Amino acid sequence: MSTASTRTPAAVRTYDAYSAPLWKRVLLTRETAVIALTVAVIIYSIANVPNFDGPLTLKFLLQDIAPILLIALPMTLIIITGEIDLSVASIMGLSSVLLGVLHENGMSVPAAALLALLAGLVCGALNGFLIAYVGLPSLAVTIGTLALFRGIAVGLLGTKAVTDFTEKWSDLATGTIGESRIPLVIIPFAVLAVFFVVLLHFSTFGRGVYDIGLNDEAAHFTGVNVARTKFILFVLSGVVSAFAGIYFTLRFGSARGDNATGYELQVIAAVLLGGVSIFGGRGRLHGVLAGVVLIGVISSALRLESVTVNVTNIIVGLLLVASVILPSVLGWAGSRLPRKASAAPPGPRPNKDAASAGV
């Protein structure tokens, strides 16, 4: 490949990525690595973990990761723009409580769910307004709204729990598609996934999302409406989180103020594991979805091996750290090897970021 770049220097593009042949560009990516790892873990689990291929494993696995799958979709787009949303789990909690409170006061489940979705939209709009139009840092804003939304949820319901949901609706949340083992919640997820894939990878809006993440001033000058894009993303995140909260409530049949506490870190861990750069501008949805599935499969397999959830936490943490450290280490190693130095482009963002390693 070094011959290709020296033969016609004038016509060669300067981006490292384009100096590699197509198959390399497709196969040697973070996303492929995550997917390969996921497949490897699944194959290993089927072969070695008793009951992993049992009838209930897939159903519970998918039901467990469904909220994270759902929220990871908008979260990916938000992180690609270089922002972050820590308030998603609190929005889940708030929509769960609203569903419970409204249902308790005699509203039907669909009407209550609609209002809960609306509340999610308002929460997302508040985040989006403060971040996109007032220009506040998203990390600080969403730490604030994390406390605010959770506080409203806990304030509304206290330590009570609303559990009297009609069976029809709980069955909907726990049921499967026909006779298969795939839970019903995968249908809305699939619809949303298609929507977000089209939005991010096949629309001008999506190109704008990447533009903003790489350089928001340049994006502004190329005609991307930076503020509106960010605002829309936070609104989407609010609505999807509220939907995940409704699913969570109906699945466990209980609306509590502290539902889904700590989910925000799980979602972010999955998204980052899936190859999205926290600096923005890099990442694809298929990698993220593989990341979510990877975490789900690992915890499911370990649970079947009756390893405690603590070990799962350690593994997820190690994976997360390794996934961000590896490119730097490889880049550093590559630059140390003189023979490979010309061939291997250094990993994305090598040492120069030590200083700007920010939040």
Stretch that binds other proteins, among 25-33, 40-48, 68-76, 316-324 (CB under 8 A): 316-324
Q: Determine, following the binding rule CB under 8 A, whether residue 141 of this chain makes contact with other proteins.
A: yes
Rounded CA separation 225/115 (Å): 29
Return the residues of window 21-60 that contact other proteins according to CB under 8 A. none
Give 21's Cβ-side CA count (13 Å radius): 5
Instruction: Name the minimum Å distance from CB 301 to other proteins.
Output: 16
Q: Determine, following the binding rule CB under 8 A, whether residue 351 of this chain makes contact with other proteins.
A: yes
Q: Determine, following the binding rule CB under 8 A, whether residue 291 of this chain makes contact with other proteins.
A: no
Rounded CA separation 186/175 (Å): 11
Q: Which helix (H) or strand (E) holds 256?
A: strand 255-256
Residues 6+ apart with CB under 8 A from 335: 341, 346, 350
Q: Determine, following the binding rule CB under 8 A, whether residue 261 of this chain makes contact with other proteins.
A: yes
* Alpha-helix runs per DSSP H in the chain: 2-7, 22-27, 30-48, 55-80, 88-104, 109-128, 138-157, 167-174, 186-201, 204-214, 216-221, 226-252, 263-273, 285-304, 309-336, 338-341, 353-356
Instruction: Name the minimum Å distance from CB 343 to other proteins.
Output: 22
Q: Determine, following the binding rule CB under 8 A, whether residue 353 of this chain makes contact with other proteins.
A: yes
Instruction: Name the minimum Å distance from CB 178 to other proteins.
Output: 37
Residue closer to other proteins (CB basis): 81 or 170: 81
124: tokens are 């997302």
| SS3 call for 255 | strand
Tell which one of 52, 149, 210, 263 touches other proteins (CB under 8 A).
149
Q: Determine, following the binding rule CB under 8 A, whether residue 257 of this chain makes contact with other proteins.
A: yes
Rounded CA separation 149/151 (Å): 5
Q: Determine, following the binding rule CB under 8 A, whether residue 354 of this chain makes contact with other proteins.
A: yes
Return the residues of window 67-96 that contact other proteins according to CB under 8 A. 84, 86
Interface contacts to other proteins, rule CB under 8 A: 84, 86, 130, 134-137, 139-141, 143-152, 154-155, 158-159, 216-217, 220, 226, 257, 261-262, 265, 268-269, 272, 278-279, 308-321, 324-325, 328-329, 349-359
